[in-house]
Amino acid sequence: MFIPLGFKFSALPCGIRKKDKLDLGLIYCEGKGISWGVFTKNSQKAAPVLIGMKHIKNSSTKAILVNSGVANACTGEEGIKRAYTVLEELSKILKIKKEEILPASTGVIGEPLPVEKILPNLPKLVEELAEEKYTSFAMAIMTTDTFPKIVSKKTKEGIHILGIAKGAGMIAPNMATMLGFILTDAQLTKEELKRLLQRGVEKSFNRITVDGDTSTNDTVYALSSGAKKLEKIEDFSVHFFEVLEELAHLIVKDGEGASKVIKISIKGAKSKSEAEILARSVAESPLVKTAFYGEDPNWGRIFSALGKTKIPFEAEEVELILNGKPWIKELKFITPEEEIKRELRKSDIDLQIRLKRGKQSYSLLTCDLTEEYIKINASYRS
């Protein structure tokens, strides 16, 4: 792992979740940290989101504090108050301003943030800060995730980028679908970091919110310690985007109950937005997702999902290409059905849908829909 200079991590079980489950995590940034954030568009923004939206505007960020188990969403004024109580206490221990801390929470909506469990654990959390504890941090933010999600890259100049995320479901607003933390030691201006993060999120995390759900808590923070001078921003951007894209892929791979990651690409649409509408309609169709789970080359479901967007097209002109093999052309199988079935058995699937309406394209990642998804979500609280 390439841990950026100037960062320390810590994690503890403070009893919000089951006994001994890590549920409180801290990232500390030495030096003046430059930060930005991208947040959920849900109208019911959680308390930590509302606070984070303010705090990223400050010139300095020194810490990120995250808890899992309780989302602190739909908690009204009391929720904001409780979040600030925690930030104030932490700021005293770290000897920084509370405005220099970015908060994030993930878990059940509507339950009050248990400050009485968090406060007594803050001194130890700070005490145990260490460079190598990034894995514990990644575990502390997990909810239904089955593995911690960590990606790191090193640029040619020797700059490090570390990304940590949580999220285990395409459609899990209640779980605060996703949190992401992108750390680097590159010297960047706030404006540069903001532009990079916004572009990166558009190309990664925004291409996996398969059913258009955005949770009350979705947050991606970027934070740079500025410890290393940056010369080649192009090379850095490539690596920065890769970190985001790989994290996004890990989230889909760990999708609740998912057995397959499916990339859906639309080519030959009239406009970018038309391509996106078509791609999302296919990627979010429960019938397409269950057909992939059933490894059933039931291509009619794909055409029906395209058609329900009401964007007009000639079915005869649509081509489907599966894992590089021509599947459907002029409404007929091109590669024998048996061979297509074999492709469907793979766990990574690439579906290209070619129209003849124009030159625009869009792609996104989805996963299949399985019985396990229902089990996880029917019993989440109990």
Active-site residues, by number, are 177
What whole-number distance in Å separates Cα of residue 58 and Cα of residue 27?
Answer: 18
Does residue 375 belong to the site contacting its own copies (CB under 8 A)? yes
The minimum distance between CB 316 and its own copies, in angstroms, equals 5
Does residue 83 belong to the site contacting its own copies (CB under 8 A)? no
Does residue 308 belong to the site contacting its own copies (CB under 8 A)? yes
For its own copies, which residue of 16, 22, 47, 108 counts as binding (CB under 8 A)? 108
Determine the Cα angle at 349 with ends 299 and 198, to 5°: 110
What whole-number distance in Å separates Cα of residue 302 and Cα of residue 285?
Answer: 8
Kindly give the interhelix angle for 76-94 and 47-55, rounded to the nearest 10 degrees.
Answer: 50
Stretch binding its own copies (CB under 8 A), from 73-81, 221-229, 245-253, 355-363: 73-81
DSSP per-residue letters across 305-356: HHHTT-----GGG-EEEETTEEEEETTEESS-HHHHHHHHTSSEEEEEEE-S
- Compute CA distances 133 → 26, 220, 337, whole Å: 10, 20, 50
Tokens 């625009």 locate to 360
Does residue 39 belong to the site contacting its own copies (CB under 8 A)? no
The minimum distance between CB 247 and its own copies, in angstroms, equals 22
Which of 65, 83, 197, 201 is CA-nearest to residue 137?
Answer: 65
Q: Which of 213, 350 has the CB closer to its own copies?
A: 213
For its own copies, which residue of 19, 95, 345, 381 counts as binding (CB under 8 A)? 381
Give the three-class secondary structure for 47: helix
Stretch binding its own copies (CB under 8 A), from 9-17, 86-94, 147-155, 291-299: 291-299
- Residues in region 167-226 near its own copies by CB under 8 A: 171-174, 211-216
Q: Enumerate residues 6+ apart whose C-beta is below 8 A from 192.
A: 233
Q: Which of 245, 276 has the CB closer to its own copies?
A: 276
Does residue 345 belong to the site contacting its own copies (CB under 8 A)? no
For 193, phi and psi rounded to 5 degrees? -65, -40
# residues near its own copies by CB under 8 A: 63
Does residue 72 belong to the site contacting its own copies (CB under 8 A)? no
Q: Which of 73, 94 has the CB closer to its own copies?
A: 73
Stretch binding its own copies (CB under 8 A), from 61-69, 149-157, 227-235, 373-381: 373-381
Q: Give the footprint of its own copies on this chain (CB under 8 A).
A: 41-44, 71, 73-76, 108-111, 171-174, 211-216, 285-287, 290-291, 293-294, 296, 298-301, 303-313, 315-316, 328, 330-331, 369-371, 373-375, 377-382
